[in-house]
């Protein structure tokens, strides 16, 4: 299991807010503010997800405690908390963005999207909830587990393109031809609202704000949404993105503060395999991300296997978050990792295990 290196100098890292020192919890949120913020967050969740949120009142708890049954926070080891987005029936967090985004389109009949898998499954799932038809373009080598989710949910799945960004071009053309919305993952503000609710839940579920939240970055919407919520409520909490070094476009764009070009997206962490930056996502990450870390394929594999050793099935994108722990700056407080998905094919997991040498 990777360790958090407490001694690493913060100045070794590319960072925007290295001078931020986490303040004491009582300085950040007064008790009254905390109650109001929780209530606002709960109302927002209900608007976003409707019947998919359960409100539980815990015994001895004077507050209505908003909790989604499927997204608990659990402690991996002292100081490291996991936000379990992998436990949803789709095995990933993407439904939280797809449901509000499709709701915002209204009664459009059909929606077209492109995805390496999790976003496509979430779109199919949300479309089924709302009585829409989903057409999903996936790259030719999409994961079998993810294809299975999409097909089971009744999506019209089309395999086109060598990577996700090529599949996107096919999808865009199809949507234009049909005169229906093209749902571009990472370009819809409603997705960011859905993901912001994850940030709210993290803050609601911990007694005091963490020192950092660590979020894998593909197109950047997840960190964008979580980061917005965390920045608003706990500005001293670092908002750290992790990209696959083999798919660096969002880290490069964050460094440059504008979308830059890249020709690479060859990571086995298919949720992070983005080659073309979405301008809106770059804009949001420029506002909210404090650090952007890069992890190699070998490091991501270590993360996946470390989760597996802890009894958690994690796909590459989720493993990337765990594998970044040794690269974090010195932190005085808890770290939250978002376990973003579990949809890894059995043969890939077995291959990672067989390549792993202690």
Ligand X SMILES: Cc1ncc(COP(=O)(O)O)c(C=O)c1O
Interface with ligand X by CB under 6 A: which residues?
92, 118-119, 186, 216-222, 271-272, 315, 317-318, 340-341
Residue 74 CB, shortest distance to ligand X, in Å, is 18
Whichever of 247 and 335 has its CB closer to ligand X, that residue is 247
- Single out the residue of 295, 336, 351, 335 nearest to residue 319, CA to CA: 295
Residue 271 CB, shortest distance to ligand X, in Å, is 3
DSSP conformation class of 235: T
C-alpha–C-alpha distance, residues 36 and 305, integer Å: 40
- Single out the residue of 230, 229, 227 nearest to residue 241, CA to CA: 227
Q: Where are the beta strands (DSSP E) in the chain?
A: 54-56, 65-67, 73-77, 80-84, 110-114, 133-138, 156-159, 182-183, 212-216, 238-244, 291-295, 335-339
CB 117 within 8 A of CB 142: yes
Three-state SS annotation for 100-152: HHHHHHCCCCEEEEECCCHHHHHHHHHHHHHCCEEEEEECCCCCHHHHHHHHH
Residue 279 CB, shortest distance to ligand X, in Å, is 15
Residue 189 CB, shortest distance to ligand X, in Å, is 13
Whichever of 136 and 221 has its CB closer to ligand X, that residue is 221
CB 69 within 8 A of CB 77: no
Whichever of 123 and 219 has its CB closer to ligand X, that residue is 219
CB 305 within 8 A of CB 353: yes
Q: Exposed (0-12), middle (13-18) or buried (19+): which is 25, by Cβ within 10 Å?
A: middle
Whichever of 53 and 292 has its CB closer to ligand X, that residue is 292
Whichever of 66 and 194 has its CB closer to ligand X, that residue is 194
Whichever of 161 and 216 has its CB closer to ligand X, that residue is 216
Residue 62 CB, shortest distance to ligand X, in Å, is 35
Whichever of 99 and 318 has its CB closer to ligand X, that residue is 318
Residue 19 CB, shortest distance to ligand X, in Å, is 27
Residue 176 CB, shortest distance to ligand X, in Å, is 23
Whichever of 210 and 216 has its CB closer to ligand X, that residue is 216
- Single out the residue of 346, 349, 351, 352 nearest to residue 144, CA to CA: 346
CB 226 within 8 A of CB 262: no
Give the distance, in angstroms, between the CA of residue 210 and the centroid of all CA atoms in the same chain. Answer: 17
3-class secondary structure, 182: strand
């Amino acid at each position: 299991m990777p360790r958090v290196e407490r001694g690493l100098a913060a100045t070794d890292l590319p960072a925007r807010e290295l001078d931020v020192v986490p303040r004491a919890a009582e300085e950040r949120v007064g008790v009254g503010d905390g109650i109001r913020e929780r209530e606002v967050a709960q109302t927002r969740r209900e608007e976003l997800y409707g019947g998919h949120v359960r409100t539980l009142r815990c015994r001895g708890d004077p507050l209505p405690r908003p909790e989604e049954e499927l997204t608990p926070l659990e402690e991996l080891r002292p100081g490291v908390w996991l936000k379990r987005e992998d436990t949803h029936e789709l095995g990933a967090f993407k439904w939280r963005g797809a449901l509000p985004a499709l709701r915002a389109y209204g009664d459009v009949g059909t929606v077209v999207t492109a995805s390496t898998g999790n976003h496509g499954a979430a779109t199919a799932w949300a479309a089924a909830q709302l009585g829409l038809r989903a057409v999903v373009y996936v790259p030719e080598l999409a994961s079998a587990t993810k294809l299975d989710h999409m097909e089971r949910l009744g999506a019209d799945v089309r395999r086109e393109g060598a990577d996700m960004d090529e599949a996107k071009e096919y999808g865009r053309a199809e949507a234009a031809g049909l005169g229906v919305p093209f749902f571009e993952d990472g370009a819809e503000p409603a997705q960011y609202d859905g993901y912001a609710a994850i940030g709210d839940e993290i803050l609601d579920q911990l007694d005091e704000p963490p020192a950092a939240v660590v979020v894998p970055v593909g197109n950047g919407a997840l960190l964008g949404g979580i980061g917005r919520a965390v920045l608003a409520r706990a500005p001293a909490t670092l908002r750290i993105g992790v990209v696959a070094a083999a798919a660096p476009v969002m880290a490069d764009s964050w460094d440059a503060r504008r979308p830059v070009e890249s020709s690479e997206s060859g990571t086995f962490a298919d949720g992070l395999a983005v080659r073309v930056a979405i301008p809106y996502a770059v804009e949001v990450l420029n506002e909210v991300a404090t650090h952007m870390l890069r992890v190699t394929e070998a490091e991501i594999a270590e993360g996946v296997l470390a989760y597996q050793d802890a009894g958690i099935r994690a796909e590459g994108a989720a493993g990337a978050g765990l594998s970044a722990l040794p690269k974090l700056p010195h932190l005085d407080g808890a770290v939250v990792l978002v376990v973003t998905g579990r949809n890894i094919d059995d043969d890939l997991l077995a291959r990672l295990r067989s390549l792993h040498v202690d």
